[in-house]
């Protein structure tokens, strides 16, 4: 498996990291990703507790896609989602704009 699959996908092989440091290292790696980038996570078991921690505590949206799910090798793509366009529009509207990307709505907040 290559270290970089493409310019936006990075391999994180957790098998070489001491188990007591894995979750901290994984969260650190997620923090290093930019929107739209992917961390291809390789592990020797299915990290269900880690997935629960990410869902509960990680502040940014992460899409989780299993690539392989074998008893001794699990490969998961963690894709850092780009900001939701509806959420961005809602933030703009709350700030006084309409969220229209065309700028032609006539509102005073644009």
Residue 27 forms part of a structural domain: yes
List the domain range (segments joined by +) for residue 15.
Answer: 4-85
Query: Can you give the CATH number for the domain in which 45 is found?
Result: 3.30.110
pLDDT score of 84: 58
The pair of structure tokens assigned to 75 is 């490969």
Residue 80 forms part of a structural domain: yes
Residue 110 forms part of a structural domain: no
pLDDT in tens, the chain (110 residues): 444 567 889 999 999 999 899 999 999 999 999 999 999 999 999 999 999 999 898 888 899 999 999 988 999 999 988 765 344 433 334 444 443 333 334 334 44
Residue 102 forms part of a structural domain: no
Environment class of 62 (CB within 10 Å of its CB; exposed 0-12, middle 13-18, buried 19+): middle
**Alpha-carbon distance 86 to 68, whole Å?**
32
pLDDT score of 44: 93
Number of domains in the chain: 1
| Helical segments of the chain, H only | 19-32, 48-57, 85-94
pLDDT score of 83: 61
Residue 108 forms part of a structural domain: no
């Amino acid at each position: 498996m290559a270290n970089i699959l493409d310019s936006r996908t990075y391999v994180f092989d957790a098998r070489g990291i001491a188990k007591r440091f894995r979750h901290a290292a994984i969260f650190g790696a997620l923090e290093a990703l930019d929107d739209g980038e992917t961390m291809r996570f390789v592990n020797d078991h299915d990290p269900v507790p880690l997935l629960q921690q990410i869902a509960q505590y990680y502040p940014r949206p992460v899409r989780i896609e299993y690539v392989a799910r074998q008893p001794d090798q699990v490969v998961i793509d963690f894709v850092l989602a780009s900001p939701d366009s509806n959420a961005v529009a809602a933030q703009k509207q709350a700030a006084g704009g309409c969220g229209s990307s065309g700028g032609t709505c006539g509102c005073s907040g644009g």
